[in-house]
Amino acid sequence: MKPFAQILTEQGTLQPASVLRRYLSQIRHIFANQRAVEAILKSEGDRLVYEVYVAEIPEAEGHVAYSTTIIYPGQVGDEYHMTKGHFHVRRGTGEVYFGLRGRGLLLLRREEGDSEVVPLEEGSVAYVPPFWGHRTVNIGQEPLIFFAAWPADAGHDYETAERLGFGVRVLHAGRGYRLEREGEEP
Ligand code: S6P
Ligand code: ZN
């Protein structure tokens, strides 16, 4: 592979890149309020929750993969739009996030049970240490756009994240947000 440079646009897109689009109907189970999911699907049809532009980097040792993610603003019931979230298959690999636009939170948890929430917004850098699963939430009114870079052979484990959850849910409240511990009824 030869060195190259590419453009990251104002809108957060990378070109060339593979684009992954996550619609509500595909990721409906990540949201707590299934009645709200049904209501949206019925009234709007479907909804684009987020998209990921993944640079075409070999998934091989030594390479650094990177992407941009755009999470569109919105809620499902009271819960803000968010990514599915994952652990890395190779648990000992970390990741760096750089906020390009918008306001968000990064939810992190370890399989042992501890969880953390850190801000991710325009101009901020967030570090995901090895062994921490991660999910991103848009708590603002505009798209949350961030850049991420990770060891290209890390792999993505969605099943463990789905089974364990992230410890907290991020809900709209008044003019801000509130964190609800998972399992607690509102
Ligand atoms: C990859 C990195 C991001 C996410 C993207 C979507 O390691 O963390 O590129 O893939 O933000 O999230 P998810 O959980 O659907 O892969
Ligand atoms: Zn990751």
Residue-wise pLDDT tens digits, 54-98: 999 999 999 999 999 999 999 999 999 999 999 999 999 999 999
CA-71 nearest atom, ligand 1? 11
Residue-wise pLDDT tens digits, 150-175: 999 999 999 999 999 999 999 999 98
Ligand 1 binding pocket mutation candidate from 14, 70, 136 (most atoms within 8 A of CB): 136
d(CA 178, CA 78) in angstroms, rounded, equals 10
What is the percent of the chain with per-residue pLDDT over 90, rounded to a whole number? Answer: 96
Kind and range of the H or E element at 107? strand 103-110
CA-closest candidate to residue 69, choices 42, 94, 101, 111: 101
Is this structure's pTM higher than 0.95? yes
Question: Looking at residues 4-11, what average pLDDT do you find?
Answer: 95
Q: What is the DSSP string of 154-173?
A: --EEHHHHHHH--SEEEEEE
d(CA 87, CA 156) in angstroms, rounded, equals 6
User: Is the distance from the beta carbon of residue 138 to the nearest atom of ligand 1 less than 6 Å?
Assistant: no
**Residue 159 neighbours by CB under 8 Å, 6+ apart:** none
Asked if 120 and 126 count as a contact pair (C-beta separation under 8 A), the reply is yes
Asked if 170 and 119 count as a contact pair (C-beta separation under 8 A), the reply is no
Asked if 162 and 29 count as a contact pair (C-beta separation under 8 A), the reply is yes
Return the residue whose CA atom lies nearest to atom 2 of ligand 1.
148
Kind and range of the H or E element at 69? strand 64-71
d(CA 69, CA 139) in angstroms, rounded, equals 15
Distance 156 CA to ligand 1 centre (A): 8
In the chain, the N- to C-terminal Cα span, in Å, equals: 52
Strand order in the sheet with 79-80: 75-76, 79-80, 168-173, 176-181
- Which ligand is located closest to the Cα atom of residue 161? 1
Return the residue whose CA atom lies nearest to atom 12 of ligand 1.
83
CA-closest candidate to residue 148, choices 10, 19, 55: 55
- Which ligand is located closest to the Cα atom of residue 82? 1
